[in-house]
Amino acid sequence: MLAGRVFSCRKALTASKRPALRILRATARTADTLPSVCTGSSLRWAHAARVESRPSDIITPTVIESVYEPPKTGLISLLPKSVIPYAELSRLDKPAGSVYLFFPCLFSTLLAATVATPVASPTEVLSYSALFLSGALIMRGAGCTINDLWDRNLDPHVTRTRFRPIARRAITPQAAIVYTSAQLLAGLAVLVQFPTQCLYYGIPSLALVTTYPLAKRVTNYPQFVLGLTFSWGALMGFPALGVDLMANHDALVAGGLLYSSCVAWTVLYDMIYAHMDIKDDAKAGIKSIALRHEKNTKAVLTGLGVVQLGLLAAAGTAAGAGPIFFVGSCGGAAATLATMIWKVNLKSVPSCWWWFRNGCYMTGGKVVPKMTCVQKAHGKFQLLRARRIPNKPPQTKRFSAQSSVRFYNTVSQPD
């Protein structure tokens, strides 16, 4: 009788495997007696019944979503459970984004040090760099909170984002708005530590921070809008060190070129980042440059790298940088970008994440050291450079009225 039941299971499995698994689970209770009755292939099916009877396999064999698990390692794991969702909302467990936001600020501070009059001291550069780092950590967290508020109905449909605090309903939208307000106030507290002129440059960036999440709904190039947002710090270093961009044409050109270079860099690394969600974005209707140029991504990445390096070199030229900058900073950045574009596997999520996470340290780490090469000259520390840009244009020698009369009398006298 039992052998007949197993034969029926085999016949059902031939027609449809999944319904047969349910039948095998039902017969698993008597599976221990089957070997004494069945032989050959029937015995193998009886063993399958025992294996399929495990409690973990009783779930319907459809796409099963994993259950959220709090972090067990890292800094966030040490926080109280009630605080963990807010730490995750600020992406404290993923500092790469904050580093990407900080580097443009650091680049501009180092570049502005050669333009400032007098030349900025190392202590001044370090103190403002520390403030920029604090601001990057806070404002990146605020930007992530605003992004998750906009995307709270999209994130549950994307594998990588479905466990974000608002998407999994660990934080309500109302609580997230209150938290965003606290983050922005903290960012303002950092901003007021800079010279007053920095307020005029810093506050307008909030418009980009707030509207960036909307770009992915209306354009295939939201990464460009992200570049405009993340690169804003490339302009902030100049007013921080007392350089008025509106009054100093050469500094304005250097700052604008550096800002454009950072925009190209942001689009480059975020295009790699976007490939992690390319399948889910297509299903959810989210636009991205990765979807738009899926078939020629590496060609686009190469073009962005060339633009970034060209603009970086032009910024150095405008700031009067010397050979060390071009060989070390520009050359080092070219080597790291070429390596990343060559080796990243755009079809692999772990590969895209690894290169995105480490690319900031690789490329930024090559640019900064050569910008910070200093030498002590005439009692002042200054960057190695070919020339320095004065804050005021050089005064041209003019003839006075008295010298003009003397010149006239000289040339009018006969020989």
Which is more confident, 19 or 248? 248
What number is the average pLDDT over the span 225-254? Answer: 93
Banded model confidence at residue 2, pLDDT cuts 50, 70, 90: very low
pLDDT in tens, 113-147: 888 888 888 899 999 999 999 999 999 999 999 99
Instruction: Select from 348, 386, 378, 333 the least CA-distant residue to 103.
Output: 333
**Based on the structure, what is the number of domains in the chain?**
2
DSSP 83: T
Based on the domain organization, do 11 and 160 belong to the same domain?
Answer: no
| 174 and 39 inside one domain | no
The pLDDT assigned to 62 comes to: 33
Which run of H or E residues covers position 111? Answer: helix 96-113
Strand partners, 377: 380
Q: Is the pTM of this model over 0.85?
A: no
Cβ neighbors of 235 (< 8 A, separation 6 or more) are: 108, 201, 245, 255, 259
Question: What does the alpha-carbon distance between residue 27 and residue 48 come to, in Å, rounded to a whole number?
Answer: 11
Establish if 66 belongs to a structural domain: no
- Do residues 30 and 143 both lie within one domain? no
Burial of 129 (0-12, 13-18, 19+ CB in 10 A): middle
3-state SS class at 71: coil
- The answer to whether residues 216 and 124 belong to one domain is yes
Rounded-to-integer distance, Cα 257 and Cα 261, Å: 6
Residue 405 lies in a domain: no
Please tell me whether residues 42 and 87 are part of one structural domain: no
On average, the pLDDT of the chain sits at: 79
Q: What is the pLDDT of residues 308-340, one digit of tens each?
A: 999 999 999 998 888 888 999 999 999 999 999
Instruction: Give tens-digit pLDDT for 46-93.
Output: 433 333 333 333 333 333 346 888 888 888 888 999 999 999 999 998
Decide if pLDDT at 5 tops 70.
no
The residue ranking higher by pLDDT, 239 or 402, is 239
Going from the C-alpha of 238 to that of each of 30, 75, 197, 254, 391, the distances in angstroms are: 80, 34, 10, 10, 12
Residue 371 has pLDDT above 50, yes or no: yes
Residues 132 and 178 in one domain: yes
- Residues of 22-34 as b/e, b for ≥16 C-beta within 10 angstroms? ebbbebbeebeeb
* Domain residue limits at 145: 80-383
Are 188 and 44 in the same domain? no
Do the domain assignments include residue 366? yes
pLDDT over 70 for what percent of the chain? 73
Mean pLDDT of the 3-7 span: 48
pLDDT at residue 402, rounded to an integer: 47
In a domain, 111, yes or no: yes
Interval 22-50 mean pLDDT: 39
Looking at the fold, whether 329 and 287 belong to one and the same domain comes out as yes
Mean pLDDT of the region 349-359? 95
Alpha-carbon distances of 33 from 1, 6, 42, 275, 358, rounded to whole Å: 12, 12, 12, 53, 58
115 Cβ contact partners less than 8 Å away, ≥ 6 residues apart: 238, 241, 243, 248, 250, 251, 254, 319, 388, 389, 391
Long-range pairs for 290-293: beta carbons < 8 A, 24 or more residues apart: 291/220, 292/220, 292/221
Kindly report, residue by residue over 380-409, the tens digit of the pLDDT: 444 444 444 444 444 444 444 444 444 444
% of residues, the chain, pLDDT over 90: 52
User: Is residue 373 in some structural domain?
Assistant: yes
At residue 234, does pLDDT exceed 90?
yes
Work out the pLDDT band at 372, boundaries 50, 70, 90: low
- Here the CATH number for the domain that contains residue 278 is 1.10.357.140
pLDDT of residue 341: 96
Contact in structure between 264 and 289 (CB atoms under 8 Å):
no
User: CA-to-CA distance for 233 and 263, rounded, in angstroms?
Assistant: 11
Same domain membership, residue 45 and residue 125: no
Q: Are residues 211 and 268 in the same domain?
A: yes
Model pLDDT, residue 39:
41
Kindly state whether residues 44 and 106 are assigned to the same domain: no
Residues 22, 85 share a domain: no
CA–CA separation, 88 vs 122, rounded Å?
35
Is the pLDDT score of 412 beyond 60?
A: no
